[in-house]
C-alpha cells in the first residue's frame, strides 16, 4: 500500500468542517480589519528564503525542500538531455516567421544561438512572509500606500514530525506593509494586529491563550547584544549542546531557541535584549504596550522570546496555548522593518504573523460537534422507479438552502433509515409511488419519532422547523 509521506497527512471529513469553520471565521475577522487576500506561489527561488529568513536559521540551514530545477543542471541522463534539446528546437521554431513552409525540412539554426539554460535552485516555501514581501517589491505595492494582506495555505519544513509538527503544515498569514509615510512603522499597527488576533481567538471560542511579547530591537541593538552574548557564552559554551556551540559562533541570538533542558540554567544567566534597546525601540515598545492595555488585551513580557527567523526587528510575539503540549505556539509574528531592503526593495516597514492552522484546529477539537453541519433531511426513494422523483425533491429542497442527503431506490426502508441515522440527518423523507401521486410525503423527525404527511410545497418550511404541526 502506498501511504502518505512521513510528516504529511490527509485531512478527512468530518475534521475538514472544522478547517472550513476556522477559515471562514478568519476571513470574517480579517474583513472587519480591512485585510485583503494575496496568493503567492508555493515555490520560490531558494535565494529569497536564504536572504529573507536568514541562512543561519534552522529553517534555511536544515529544513527546506530545495531542488535544482528539473533538466537544467547537474548529472543528467541521455533522455532528459534529448528532451531539453527538443524543447529548445520547438522554441526556435515558434520564433520563425516562415514556420509553415519549413515543415518536413531541416530547421535552420538561429542566427543568435540562445545561451544554454542555467540551473535554478528552487524551494518549497517554508513560510509566507518572504514571498509576500517579494510580491510587494515586484508589483510596486508600496505605490498603493499601506497594504494589509493575508494568505492561507501549505508550508513545508523538514522537521522531525511529532504532535502538532508536520512537514507539510498550513499557515494563515497576515502582513501590514508599506512606506513609512503611510504609517507602517507606527506602534498603532503592532497593537492593531495583536488586538485582531485576540479578537479572532475569542471569536473561535479558544480559551486559555497567552500572548508572549518582546522587542528584539533594531540591527544596531542586536549587534551590541550579539557581542555581549558572545562574550557571556565563551566560558560556558563547552557545557552546552552541539547546536548551541555552533550558534555561539555563527548567530548567538539563536541560543535562546534551545529546548535542551540541561542548557536552560546556563541560558537563564545570559544577558537579555531588553538591556540593549535604544531609545527609539524602547519608546516604540512602550507605545505598543500602552495601546494593548487601553484595548484590554492581556500579554506577558518575555525577553527570552527571539523567534526563529532573522528578519525580525522591534516587536516580536507568540500566542501559546496550554493544551497543545510541547509544540504550544499557535502562532508567531513580529515586525520586519528591514526585510524589503534586504531583498533589494525600497524601505517598507512591516509587521505580521502566521497562525499554525493545524495547531489552531487541534485546540478547537472539543468544539467539533457544534461546528459540524449534519443533513437537515435524508430523502429516501422507496421502490423501483422512484429515484427520479426523489432527485426532483432533493433539488427543490437544496435550492431552498437545506442540506440534503439522497438515498437510492434499491434500498429497503430499513436500510434507508440506517443510512439516514448514520448521516446524522434530522428528518427522513419517504418518496414512494403513492406519496408522489398525492404530492404529499411522509416526513419523520428522527429525533422525536414524530411522523406527518406534508404537501410538496410546504416541505422546506416544515423541515426548517417553522411549519405548523411541530
Ligand atoms: P513561525 O513562528 O516560523 O513564523 O511559524 C508560525 C506558526 O506556524 C508557528 O507558531 C506554528 O503554529 C506554525 N508552524 C511552524 N512550523 C510548523 C510545523 N512544522 N508544523 C505545524 N505548524 C508549524 C513564521 O512562519 C513567520 N513567517 C510569521 C510572520 C509573519 N512573521 C511576520 N509575518
As given in the structure block, the three cell numbers for residue 118 are: 542555467
Q: What are the helix (H) ranges across 272-324?
A: 279-295
328 pLDDT exceeds 50?
yes
Residues having CB closer than 6 A to ligand 1 are 127-129, 157, 159, 164-166, 169, 171, 173, 175, 308-309, 329-334, 336, 352-354, 356, 358-359
Instruction: Give 307 Cα–ligand 1 centroid separation in angstroms.
Output: 10
* Residue located nearest, by CA, to atom 3 of ligand 1: 308
Burial code of 155-188, b = ≥16 C-beta within 10 A, e = fewer? bbbbbeeeebbbbbbbbbbbbbbbbeebebbbbe
313-321 vs 209-215, strand pairing mode:
antiparallel
pLDDT in tens, 108-158: 454 444 455 678 999 999 999 999 999 999 999 999 999 999 999 999 999
The CA distance from 62 to 56, in Å, is 9
Q: What is the pTM of this model?
A: 0.86
- Pocket probe mutation, ligand 1, options 170, 332, 336, 338, max atoms within 8 Å of Cβ: 332
C-alpha 333 to ligand 1 mean position (Å): 8
Cα gap 229→218, rounded to integer Å: 16
Phi and psi angles of residue 91, each rounded to the nearest 5 degrees, phi first:
-65, -40
Identify the DSSP state of 51. I
* Residue that has been written with the C-alpha cell 428522527 in this structure: 446
Q: What is the mean pLDDT of residues 80-101?
A: 57
Is 60 exceeded by the pLDDT of residue 310? Answer: yes
Report the residue among 354, 355, 358, 360 best suited for mutation to probe ligand 1: largest number of ligand atoms under 8 A from its CB. 354
Ligand 1 center to 356 CA (angstroms): 6
On whether the CB atoms of residues 339 and 350 are closer than 8 A, the answer is: yes
Query: Residue whose CA is closest, atom 2 of ligand 1?
Result: 332
For residue 148 the three cell numbers come to 494589509
Distances (CA, A) of 293 to 33, 191, 211, 296, 409: 19, 10, 13, 5, 63
Name the band, by pLDDT with cuts 50, 70 and 90, for residue 84: low
The model's pLDDT over 12-52, given as tens digits with 9 standing for 90+, comes to: 998 899 999 999 999 999 999 999 999 999 999 999 999 99
pLDDT tens digits, 248-281: 988 898 898 888 999 999 999 999 999 999 999 9
Amino acid at each position: 500500500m502506498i501511504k502518505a509521506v512521513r510528516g504529511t497527512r490527509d485531512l478527512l471529513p468530518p475534521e475538514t468542517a472544522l478547517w472550513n469553520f476556522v477559515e471562514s471565521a478568519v476571513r470574517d475577522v480579517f474583513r472587519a480589519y480591512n485585510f485583503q487576500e494575496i496568493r503567492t506561489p508555493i515555490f520560490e527561488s531558494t535565494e529569497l528564503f536564504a536572504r529573507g529568513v536568514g541562512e543561519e536559521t534552522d529553517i534555511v540551514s536544515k529544513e527546506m525542500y530545495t531542488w535544482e530545477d528539473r533538466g537544467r543542471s547537474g548529472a543528467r541522463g541521455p533522455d532528459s538531455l534529448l528532451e531539453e534539446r527538443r524543447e529548445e528546437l520547438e522554441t526556435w521554431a515558434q520564433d520563425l516567421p516562415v514556420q509553415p513552409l519549413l515543415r518536413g525540412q531541416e530547421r535552420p539554426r538561429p542566427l543568435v544561438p540562445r545561451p544554454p539554460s542555467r540551473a535554478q535552485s528552487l524551494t518549497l516555501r517554508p513560510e509566507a512572509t518572504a514571498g509576500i514581501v517579494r510580491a510587494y517589491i515586484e508589483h510596486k505595492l508600496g505605490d498603493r500606500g499601506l497594504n494589509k494582506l493575508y494568505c492561507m495555505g501549505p508550508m513545508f519544513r523538514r522537521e522531525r514530525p511529532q504532535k502538532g509538527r508536520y512537514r507539510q503544515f498550513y499557515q494563515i498569514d497576515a502582513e501590514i506593509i508599506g512606506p513609512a509615510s503611510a504609517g507602517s512603522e507606527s506602534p498603532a499597527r503592532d497593537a492593531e494586529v495583536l488586538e485582531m488576533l485576540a479578537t479572532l481567538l475569542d471569536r473561535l471560542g479558544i480559551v486559555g491563550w497567552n500572548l508572549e511579547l518582546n522587542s528584539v530591537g533594531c540591527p544596531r541593538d542586536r549587534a551590541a547584544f550579539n557581542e555581549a552574548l558572545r562574550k557571556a557564552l565563551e566560558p560556558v559554551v563547552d557545557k552546552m549542546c552541539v547546536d548551541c556551540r555552533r550558534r555561539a559562533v555563527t548567530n548567538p541570538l539563536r541560543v535562546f531557541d534551545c529546548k535542551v533542558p540541561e542548557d536552560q540554567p546556563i541560558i537563564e544567566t545570559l544577558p537579555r535584549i531588553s538591556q540593549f534597546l535604544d531609545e527609539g525601540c524602547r519608546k516604540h515598545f512602550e507605545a505598543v504596550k500602552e495601546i494593548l492595555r487601553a484595548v484590554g488585551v492581556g500579554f506577558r513580557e518575555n525577553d527570552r522570546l527571539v523567534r526563529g527567523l532573522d528578519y525580525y526587528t522591534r516587536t516580536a510575539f507568540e500566542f501559546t496555548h496550554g493544551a497543545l503540549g510541547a509544540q504550544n505556539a499557535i502562532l508567531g509574528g513580529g515586525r520586519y522593518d528591514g526585510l524589503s531592503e534586504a531583498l533589494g526593495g525600497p524601505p517598507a516597514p512591516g509587521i505580521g504573523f502566521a497562525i499554525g492552522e493545524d495547531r489552531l484546529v487541534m485546540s478547537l477539537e472539543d468544539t467539533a460537534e457544534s461546528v459540524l453541519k449534519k443533513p437537515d433531511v435524508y430523502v429516501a426513494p422507496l421502490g423501483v422507479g422512484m429515484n427520479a422523483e426523489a432527485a426532483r425533491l432533493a433539488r427543490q429542497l437544496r435550492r431552498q438552502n437545506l442540506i440534503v442527503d439522497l438515498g437510492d431506490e434499491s434500498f429497503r426502508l430499513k436500510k434507508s433509515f440506517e443510512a439516514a441515522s448514520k448521516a446524522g440527518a434530522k428528518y427522513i423523507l419517504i418518496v414512494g409511488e403513492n406519496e408522489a401521486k398525492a404530492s404529499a410525503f411522509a416526513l419523520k423527525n428522527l429525533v422525536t419519532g414524530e411522523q406527518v404527511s406534508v404537501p410538496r410545497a410546504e416541505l422546506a418550511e416544515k423541515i426548517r422547523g417553522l411549519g405548523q404541526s411541530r
